[in-house]
Amino acid sequence: MERLEKLYEGKAKILYNTSDPDLMVQYFKDDASAFDGKKKGTIVDKGVMNNHMSSRIFQYLEGEGIKTHFVKNINDREMLVKKLDIIPIEVVLRNVAAGSLCKRLGIEQGMILQKPILEFFYKSDPLGDPMINECHVDVFGWATNKEVEILKAEGIRINNLMTKFFEERNIRLVDFKLEFGRHKGEVILGDEISPDGCRLWHLETNEKMDKDRFRFNMGNVEEKYQEVYDLICN
């Protein structure tokens, strides 16, 4: 399917219309950003790796009964996806304490959580993606109560499936972010699933293999993305 005019350009991806009003092309850039766009850079070939990793994971999830926007992989940087009316909520699942959880609550990084923690953040760069709860979602009309129930249930199911998927590849799924949207009356998983939006640690060494290497200038960013890519796609 040919891509037509640009519909939206985000920090890491571009969405294009197609001749089918229900479908879009999702193009993956090498641009990397962190801290709500305050830090910017490039991760060489990230777009290619994230496109293929996301395609592989969406296919896996679809095979396990999760509805996603993924239609097919087009080429190294493009994926055909269903057009979504995106719900402005980032659904974060955590299995191990890291990142903003540690900062917010003074929890030690690396603590294995007794049960997964699910959090909602409001998708807004100018506001720095603030944490919200179901009352905010309800009062400000970002999603219906029924949709919130779907976000929570699907978030937990996806966490179980992805934890298993990564563990089989010697990777610990520490935490990750999901985005959902509406398509023909259904709420389905959108965006991407890649080391940009997941914390992935080597199962034995706990070495970081995700965007934290870029966020905190840890070096070997491309090498670690490539390692995850090899474990997922080869």
Bridge partners (DSSP) of residue 177 are 92
Does residue 37 touch ligand ASP according to CB under 6 A?
A: yes
Interacting residue with ligand ASP among 2, 5, 19, 35 (CB under 6 A):
35
Q: Which does 121 bind (CB under 5 to 8 A by kind): ligand ASP, ligand TMP, none?
A: ligand TMP
x/- map, 136-175, ligand TMP, by CB under 6 A = ---------------------------------------x
Tell me the three-class secondary structure of 36-97, residue by residue: CCCEEEECCCHHHHHHHHHHHHHHHHHHCCCCECEEEECCCCEEEEECCEEEEEEEEEEEEC
Give how far Cα 134 sits from Cα of 140, 191, 216, Å.
Answer: 10, 22, 32
Does residue 191 touch ligand TMP according to CB under 6 A?
A: no
Does residue 123 touch ligand ASP according to CB under 6 A?
A: no
The stretch near ligand TMP (CB under 6 A) out of 6-14, 57-65, 163-171, 193-201 is: 193-201
- In angstroms, the CA 50 to CA 193 distance is 8
Does residue 86 touch ligand ASP according to CB under 6 A?
A: no
Does residue 90 touch ligand TMP according to CB under 6 A?
A: yes
- In angstroms, the CA 187 to CA 60 distance is 18
Does residue 130 touch ligand ASP according to CB under 6 A?
A: no
Does residue 9 touch ligand ASP according to CB under 6 A?
A: no
Does residue 29 touch ligand ASP according to CB under 6 A?
A: no
Does residue 183 touch ligand TMP according to CB under 6 A?
A: no
The stretch near ligand ASP (CB under 6 A) out of 35-43, 51-59, 113-121, 136-144 is: 35-43
Interacting residue with ligand TMP among 71, 81, 87, 198 (CB under 6 A):
198
Task: Using DSSP, state whether 113 is helix, strand or coil.
Answer: strand
171-183 and 186-189 beta bridge pairing: antiparallel
Q: Which does 198 bind (CB under 5 to 8 A by kind): ligand TMP, ligand ASP, none?
A: ligand TMP
15 or 118: whose CB is closer to ligand TMP?
118
47 or 197: whose CB is closer to ligand TMP?
197
17 or 122: whose CB is closer to ligand TMP?
122
Dihedral angle sign, alpha carbons of residues 6, 32, 108, 226: positive
Does residue 10 touch ligand ASP according to CB under 6 A?
A: no
- In angstroms, the CA 10 to CA 15 distance is 8
- Our CA dihedral for 229, 171, 165, 22, rounded to 10 degrees, sits at -50
Task: Using DSSP, state whether 143 is helix, strand or coil.
Answer: coil
